[in-house]
Chain A
Amino acid sequence: MQLALLILMPLLGALLPAVRRHDPVVRLAVLAALPALASLMLLLSLLPQVLAGETLLWTREWVPTLGLSVSLRLDGLAWLFATLITGIGCLIILYARFYFAGKSTAGRFYTLILLFMAAMLGIVLSENLLVMLVFWELTSLVSFLLIGFSWDKRGARRGARMSLVITAGGGLALLAGIVLLGQVVGSYQLTDVLAAGDEIRAHAQYPLILSLILLGAFTKSAQFPFHLWLPHAMAAPTPVSAYLHSATMVKAGLFLMARLHPALADTELWFTLVTITGMLTLMVGAFVAMFMHDIKGLLAYSTVSHLGLITLLLGLGTPMALAAALFHLVCHALFKAPLFMMAGYVDQATGSRDMQQINGLWRYMPALMVLTAIPAAAMAGLPLMSGYLSKKMLFVESLQVSSPDWATLVIPVWVTLAGLFSVAYSIRIFHNVFFNGKPVELPIYPPKKISNSALSPLFLLAAATLAVGLAPQLAYQWLVQPAVSAANGLPLPPYDFSQLGARLPLLMGIVALIGGLLFYMARNPLFAIHARLPEVDAKEIFEWLMQRCIRFSQHQVYGLENGSLQRYLALLLGTAVVMGFWATEGFRDWQGSIALQPLDAMTLLGGLILCGAAFGVAIFHHQRLPALLLLGVTGLFVTLTFARFSAPDLALTQLSVEVMAVVIMMLALSFLPQQSPSESRWPRVSRDLIIAGVAGLGVALFAFAILTRPMESISSFFLANSVSGGGGTNVVNVILVDFRGFDTLGEITVLGIAAVAVFAFTRDLHLKERAVPIADENWVAEPHPIILSMVARLVLPIAFLVSAYIFLRGHNLPGGGFIAGLVTAVALTLQYMAGGLAWAQSRMVMQFRPLIGAGLLVALFTGLASWVFGYPFLTSAFGYVHWPLIGKFELASALVFDLGVYLTVVGATLLILANLGKLMTVAGPGKEIG
């Protein structure tokens, strides 16, 4: 629980500054410092146990199926990092109290910094690798928010995005690596993973695992070539740079490499990948740092170089190298943080970070100068300072390298050269800022004063740097030794600091020192050369790259998705055709076992006319009216086909549907020009022809194949049970209202929805004024001919009688609610056509929408009624009653259901029709019809 508290305190403490964000900065700093200090105290109280070599564990299950549990672990290595995180965090909170004095953004900063502290503690304290990954990505996210802290600046936004993409992208690689690792080991617990080192290294996927995990570590720790995000992260406020991008977050990758050392290290691949990456990063960082005129830029590149140095040491793989790496890590955190703080104060005091302007500040801020001298000297590696020792340790370790051959010579020379550059930029940051003549055109001149209390965090860190330099044994014993032992699992012998005085390392140190001094003295001509080089801004390149990707995406995807329905349909049918070909490749048995019936002349003629009319529709589709008429012909012949093959119900339905469809389409046609222009060129037309032709032939072939096969189906059950179970002799109708009444319920709902959709769509639709019909012989002068309206009125009662007849007999003979509904609708439609919209509408007793609703409800409640008798939905009941005059008459619940169908069909059809009609009536009957 103590371990969980370590993380929970800053996590929950982050709420305090968020809630009290309008408080003065001083109070906010206290609020933020409380949880951080509490965590630090708790850590210190655990020191005795850690020194005793204990490993504290705490576990709480989260998602056991995935091996994801909130397991925490505190050993020497975790303790070292946790102490650095909380300790420096406290000082940063103190520093920010001065940095953010008088600014309104302090609350946000403190919230984010505490969140970050919690996430960072999570990484180093995780026992479960997946949970570590969770915290890992959290640090990326918080870092994104912190780099974009001054979000109104373009550089901040771009820097934030760049760092997010690189570090979170690396996080994805790490995720992959960890999952692979977990599958190899069979557990995500560190204890198990660390114990399975030999197994992992022997596994076939070891190279992949290692590369993925290192990719994650390198991106986070800004190793070459992923270091590019770090200098651009300097857009963040200086406390953020000091904390995240120098002392803590960028060390997460190093931590990971140290943590997984026993599991992954000690192979040639590890040595090659890690050492070479470290060397490249070390050199690039050190070299570029010298030429940065921006103070924070210089510090950023120097951080990159130090991270490379530590990576290089981790790559060497010996326990002593590991010890040197951790020792340097501590030293770096202690001397880099005050330098950043100095940069922040100078920035605030002078309004500039450009070292071409900032010169000779010793006059204005002598105390700051003194406090900067110590960490700068440590960074340069001057004697008595912590950096002196760690650099010597690096030299010593570089000389220990015995294999491979190239490394024995290259590495010592390489590190000496890098040391030379680091001396140069260390001198530069001190000398250039505080001496080197007078300030040049500073935005704020004379620079503002810095209060002495503001220097307190610098003082503490400088003192710590000195302390480590003076008593290295103590620091080593308390911090590094337990950490290395914990990381390696083996007790580490005490370090012999006296060996640092040996000749060769001393020589290397002197070469670096003098060389660096010379290099710095030759700076002006070097700067001039550098200035002439073309300026390369990684952020711009990154942005350009992103833009290219986006343009590529727009070009490819949005070129494909171009809004052409023709293309989409061609793709759709093309897919179906290709799949059909693939499935039936080499298939021979198209014809089944049933012999073909002899062909009679009438059927043949009907079929030919049907085909001819269908072709006609396609050929004449530019002339809409003929095309529509031909469509009517096909419908008619389909009807005849149904009649020919003894399906009177289908024929009746098809006929009435056909009539309604043609009427509706005629209405729609009046909004369109009589002819549609040809818009497609011949390649596209022929493409479409081929696809349509093949698809059509395929369907025909399929129908042929199926119809020639014998069929044993459930329909025999329907035939047998129609009368006994459904109470009707018309099996088609019994299927519709009883056996599969649920389907019918669905279908009438579809009809109702379609009608309501038409209503909703046309309600507020204003079509452009239709072209005034040219008064020629094609248009009838009289819109509502008197003969038609007279006949129509006569037809109406007859039609009602017919539909009632069709409706009632439906259960036993061809007919039913659907057909009856359509007949009624056709008769009513005739009234609209004959008498005009307003005339007919004013005589309608009922609106159409409630009619649809009522029809659906009638059908629904008929179905629900069976619940009363303990039967499932839509169970039918029927009985026979004797009515006077009529005689024996069947009453079936299905009839009521059919009434619902009837009502819905009438309502839906008329709603569609009337609203389409409304569109073409200039002086219509108000806004809503139906």
Chain B
Amino acid sequence: MNHLVALPILIPLLAGAGLLLGYRLPLRLQRGLGILSCTLLTLLGLWAVQQAGSGDYTLYALGNWAPPFGILLVLDRLSAVMLLLTASLSLFCILYACRGTDREGSHFHPLFQFQLMGINGAFLTGDMFNLFVFFEVLLIASYALLLHGGGRARSRAGLHYVIINLVGSALFLLALGTLYGLTGTLNMADLAGAISAAPDTDKPLLVTAALLLLVVFGIKAAILPLLFWLPRAYSAASAPVAALFAIMTKVGIYAIIRIFMLVFGLGEAPIADAVWLWVWPMALATLALGGIGTLGAASLRTMTAYLVVVSVGILLATVALHDQASLAAGLFYLLHSTCLTAVFFLLADLVGRQRDRGYDRFSVISALNHRWLLGSLFFLAAVSMAGLPPFSGFISKLWILQASLPLTNGLLLWALVLGTGLLVLIALSRCGSGWFWRPPASTTTQRPLDPVRVGIVTAMIAVSIALALYAEPVMVYLDLTAQQILSPEQYIHAVLANPDALLAGGAP
């Protein structure tokens, strides 16, 4: 019994509820609480990565009810990596938000904490319905954060966002109802066994349920026909919120990996095969659309939103290849792309604040203060984003290419990865040269550049560099993670072999 496993969910809940109770607390105290919570989460993330590194599953039976009857939290390598990524990203985002963004609307800090609670819960839970609950938590919190600061663009994008996602929730429930009706259980491990043992007359129903789940997760992850809520929502959100949202599409991808590789992935001809059949072309189409969209973007935030789409395409393609090496490469890319897209959302804000007119739009030529510093940061970030050496973008691209080469469909992915890489490069070079080279050198108004904000962005870029320099240990870890993901039997064995052993003592 290790209570630490539940803390990534409980700490933000405690912080969020506490901030609501003390809603009149001075902002400084609220910030302190928020930062404290994120720091603790980061430490917990480090612990989780270390804990899961042994290869064992750390289980936590909520309410002391044995699986499959109670809700189970499961910490494995994948969830540990995602927890750490979320926590460190949230720390950067909240620090950035504390420089003034949190003042633009009400209750930024509790909402931010609830958002983290939802994301962490989704990563930890071993129960399908509980996953649904946490999806709701993170959906409603993200909706509130998206609206933070108000304004027409946010309301409009927010409305689309929430309606599309609510339709998704309805489909999620429908799929869950089908699964429960056919198998009578909700625990992921138990469900996996029941699905693989389902009679043939139930198979088409299960396949439909799986595909419905794919639609649900596809909305979250932003796959091609389902992604249209994303560009406007992400480009309308305030900078630290958009940066935090860099992890949101990854929640969808996490769910796709978890559900289809575990719950539907058992047996000789698992139902997941039907899902991969769909994911592969959709991922490639997403990738292509993202690349083209990047080129045509009218502002850096829109461009970044499409960069998110590109990253989703690449990630899902590596997942759909269903191979240990490519999955591991995809996970490395996940770390890299989350960090970098967040950097670009923040950079857009940094630049926007320094421009006299037009904020982050490309069509407006405007004087720009602090060209040198911002230009250098942009250059480094762009080099990494475009996959040029020597940063993490290059390493991850190289790994994806190497891993996908021996596979049947690998060359198709190659062409698209390299092609979109070129499109991204063109788009970024146009943006950078237009902003940092074109405008008149002198500006009419002097605007102070916040050193803390710059420091945060610099630190995040440094993470990308560190990820490249110390790639090897990370890669080893991720390779083992992929191996663990692709052996669902281990997970099921850990959960169901001796469920009563998970409980503490007898009934109280």
CB distance from B501 to the nearest CB of A (A): 13
Known contacts A66-B395, A137-B388, A572-B167; is-contact A712 B184 (Cβ 8 Å): yes
The answer to whether B437 touches A68, judged by C-beta atoms less than 8 angstroms apart, is no
CB distance from A80 to the nearest CB of B (A): 25
Is B260 among interface residues, defined by CB-CB distance under 8 A?
Answer: no
The answer to whether B18 touches A557, judged by C-beta atoms less than 8 angstroms apart, is no
The answer to whether A62 touches B472, judged by C-beta atoms less than 8 angstroms apart, is yes
Residue interface mask A165-184, B partner, CB < 8 A = 1? 10011011101100110110
Closest to B388 in A: A137
- What residues on A are CB-neighbors of B425 within 8 Å? 164-165, 168-169
Is B507 among interface residues, defined by CB-CB distance under 8 A?
Answer: yes
CA distance A551 to B292 in the complex (A): 10
The answer to whether B64 touches A161, judged by C-beta atoms less than 8 angstroms apart, is no
The answer to whether B22 touches A176, judged by C-beta atoms less than 8 angstroms apart, is no
CA distance A546 to B423 in the complex (A): 10
Is A747 among interface residues, defined by CB-CB distance under 8 A?
Answer: yes
The answer to whether B225 touches A725, judged by C-beta atoms less than 8 angstroms apart, is no
Is B389 among interface residues, defined by CB-CB distance under 8 A?
Answer: yes
CA distance A571 to B406 in the complex (A): 35
The answer to whether A718 touches B133, judged by C-beta atoms less than 8 angstroms apart, is no
Known contacts A66-B399, A583-B207, A742-B63; is-contact A568 B164 (Cβ 8 Å): yes
Is B32 among interface residues, defined by CB-CB distance under 8 A?
Answer: no
CA distance A551 to B418 in the complex (A): 21
- What residues on A are CB-neighbors of B219 within 8 Å? 572
From A245-253, A273-281, A428-436, A755-763, the one touching the partner chain is: A755-763
Known contacts A569-B164, A746-B121; is-contact A752 B20 (Cβ 8 Å): yes
CB distance from A732 to the nearest CB of B (A): 15
The answer to whether B20 touches A852, judged by C-beta atoms less than 8 angstroms apart, is yes
The answer to whether A872 touches B429, judged by C-beta atoms less than 8 angstroms apart, is no
Closest to A67 in B: B402
Closest to B418 in A: A172
Among A137, A157, A175, the residue within 8 A (CB) of B438 is A157
Known contacts A557-B293, A579-B208; is-contact A753 B140 (Cβ 8 Å): yes
- What residues on B are CB-neighbors of A573 within 8 Å? 167
Is B274 among interface residues, defined by CB-CB distance under 8 A?
Answer: yes
Most buried by B among A557, A567, A580, A703: A557
The answer to whether A854 touches B225, judged by C-beta atoms less than 8 angstroms apart, is no
From A514-522, A611-619, A856-864, the one touching the partner chain is: A856-864
CB distance from A760 to the nearest CB of B (A): 4
Closest to B177 in A: A706
CA distance A87 to B274 in the complex (A): 62
Is B56 among interface residues, defined by CB-CB distance under 8 A?
Answer: no
Is B358 among interface residues, defined by CB-CB distance under 8 A?
Answer: no
Is B452 among interface residues, defined by CB-CB distance under 8 A?
Answer: no
Among A130, A753, A756, A870, the residue within 8 A (CB) of B398 is A130
- What residues on B are CB-neighbors of A270 within 8 Å? none
- What residues on B are CB-neighbors of A140 within 8 Å? 388
Closest to A574 in B: B225
If over half of B's interface residues share one DSSP class (helix, strand or loop), that class is named, otherwise mixed; here it is helix
Most buried by B among A546, A576, A847, A866: A576
If over half of A's interface residues share one DSSP class (helix, strand or loop), that class is named, otherwise mixed; here it is helix
Known contacts A714-B185, A739-B69, A872-B3; is-contact A549 B295 (Cβ 8 Å): yes
- Beta-carbon contacts under 8 Å, A83-97 to B: none
CA distance A815 to B76 in the complex (A): 39
- Beta-carbon contacts under 8 Å, B143-169 to A: 143-144, 147-148, 150, 155-156, 159-160, 163-164, 167-168
Is A527 among interface residues, defined by CB-CB distance under 8 A?
Answer: no
The answer to whether B430 touches A546, judged by C-beta atoms less than 8 angstroms apart, is yes
From B33-41, B226-234, B240-248, B481-489, the one touching the partner chain is: B226-234
- Beta-carbon contacts under 8 Å, B390-404 to A: 390, 394-395, 397-399, 401-402
CA distance A765 to B154 in the complex (A): 13
CA distance A552 to B386 in the complex (A): 21
CB distance from B74 to the nearest CB of A (A): 13
Is B106 among interface residues, defined by CB-CB distance under 8 A?
Answer: yes
Is A76 among interface residues, defined by CB-CB distance under 8 A?
Answer: no
The answer to whether A183 touches B406, judged by C-beta atoms less than 8 angstroms apart, is yes
The answer to whether B508 touches A179, judged by C-beta atoms less than 8 angstroms apart, is no
Is B101 among interface residues, defined by CB-CB distance under 8 A?
Answer: no
Is B10 among interface residues, defined by CB-CB distance under 8 A?
Answer: yes
CA distance A552 to B291 in the complex (A): 12
The answer to whether A148 touches B204, judged by C-beta atoms less than 8 angstroms apart, is no
Is B490 among interface residues, defined by CB-CB distance under 8 A?
Answer: no
- What residues on B are CB-neighbors of A552 within 8 Å? 292, 296
CB distance from B175 to the nearest CB of A (A): 10
- What residues on A are CB-neighbors of B167 within 8 Å? 569, 572-573
Is A311 among interface residues, defined by CB-CB distance under 8 A?
Answer: no
Residue interface mask A854-883, B partner, CB < 8 A = 1? 101100100110110111111111000000
Among A66, A558, A738, A867, the residue within 8 A (CB) of B63 is A738
Among B106, B204, B225, the residue within 8 A (CB) of A583 is B204
The answer to whether B17 touches A867, judged by C-beta atoms less than 8 angstroms apart, is no
Is A416 among interface residues, defined by CB-CB distance under 8 A?
Answer: no
Closest to A718 in B: B69
The answer to whether B388 touches A168, judged by C-beta atoms less than 8 angstroms apart, is yes
From B210-218, B249-257, B261-269, B454-462, the one touching the partner chain is: B210-218
Is B421 among interface residues, defined by CB-CB distance under 8 A?
Answer: yes
The answer to whether A743 touches B129, judged by C-beta atoms less than 8 angstroms apart, is yes
The answer to whether A141 touches B388, judged by C-beta atoms less than 8 angstroms apart, is yes
Is A702 among interface residues, defined by CB-CB distance under 8 A?
Answer: yes
Known contacts A66-B398, A161-B429, A757-B147; is-contact A717 B208 (Cβ 8 Å): no
The answer to whether A63 touches B472, judged by C-beta atoms less than 8 angstroms apart, is yes
Known contacts A62-B472, A571-B228, A872-B1; is-contact A747 B212 (Cβ 8 Å): no
Closest to A713 in B: B184
- Beta-carbon contacts under 8 Å, A522-577 to B: 546, 549-558, 560-561, 563, 565, 567-569, 571-576
Closest to B145 in A: A757
From B91-99, B110-118, B312-320, B348-356, the one touching the partner chain is: B110-118
Is A254 among interface residues, defined by CB-CB distance under 8 A?
Answer: no
CB distance from B204 to the nearest CB of A (A): 4
CA distance A760 to B183 in the complex (A): 42
The answer to whether B437 touches A709, judged by C-beta atoms less than 8 angstroms apart, is no
Is B475 among interface residues, defined by CB-CB distance under 8 A?
Answer: yes
- Beta-carbon contacts under 8 Å, A464-483 to B: none
Known contacts A717-B69, A747-B133, A853-B20; is-contact A756 B6 (Cβ 8 Å): no
- Beta-carbon contacts under 8 Å, B188-236 to A: 201-202, 204-205, 207-208, 211-212, 214-215, 218-219, 225-226, 228-229, 231-232
CA distance A849 to B25 in the complex (A): 13
Closest to A765 in B: B150
Is B494 among interface residues, defined by CB-CB distance under 8 A?
Answer: no
The answer to whether A553 touches B292, judged by C-beta atoms less than 8 angstroms apart, is yes
Residue interface mask A289-327, B partner, CB < 8 A = 1? 000000000000000000000000000000000000000
CA distance A560 to B296 in the complex (A): 13
The answer to whether B433 touches A151, judged by C-beta atoms less than 8 angstroms apart, is yes
- What residues on A are CB-neighbors of B159 within 8 Å? 565
Known contacts A152-B441, A572-B226; is-contact A742 B211 (Cβ 8 Å): no
| 6 A-B pairs (CB sep. < 8 Å) | A552-B296, A553-B293, A579-B211, A583-B204, A759-B107, A872-B63
| Residues of chain B at the chain A interface (Cβ within 8 Å) | 1, 3, 6, 10, 13-14, 16-23, 60-65, 68-71, 105-107, 110-111, 114, 117, 121, 129-130, 133-134, 136-137, 140-141, 143-144, 147-148, 150, 155-156, 159-160, 163-164, 167-168, 171, 174, 177-178, 180-186, 201-202, 204-205, 207-208, 211-212, 214-215, 218-219, 225-226, 228-229, 231-232, 274, 278, 289, 292-296, 298, 306, 379, 383, 386, 388-390, 394-395, 397-399, 401-402, 405-406, 414, 418, 421-422, 425-426, 429-430, 433-434, 436-438, 441, 469, 471-472, 475-476, 479, 504-505, 507-508
Q: A176-B401, A557-B296, A759-B106 are in contact. List 17 more A-B contacts (CB 8 A).
A: A138-B389, A138-B390, A160-B433, A168-B422, A176-B414, A558-B293, A703-B177, A740-B129, A746-B136, A749-B137, A752-B17, A850-B23, A853-B20, A857-B14, A866-B64, A871-B505, A871-B508
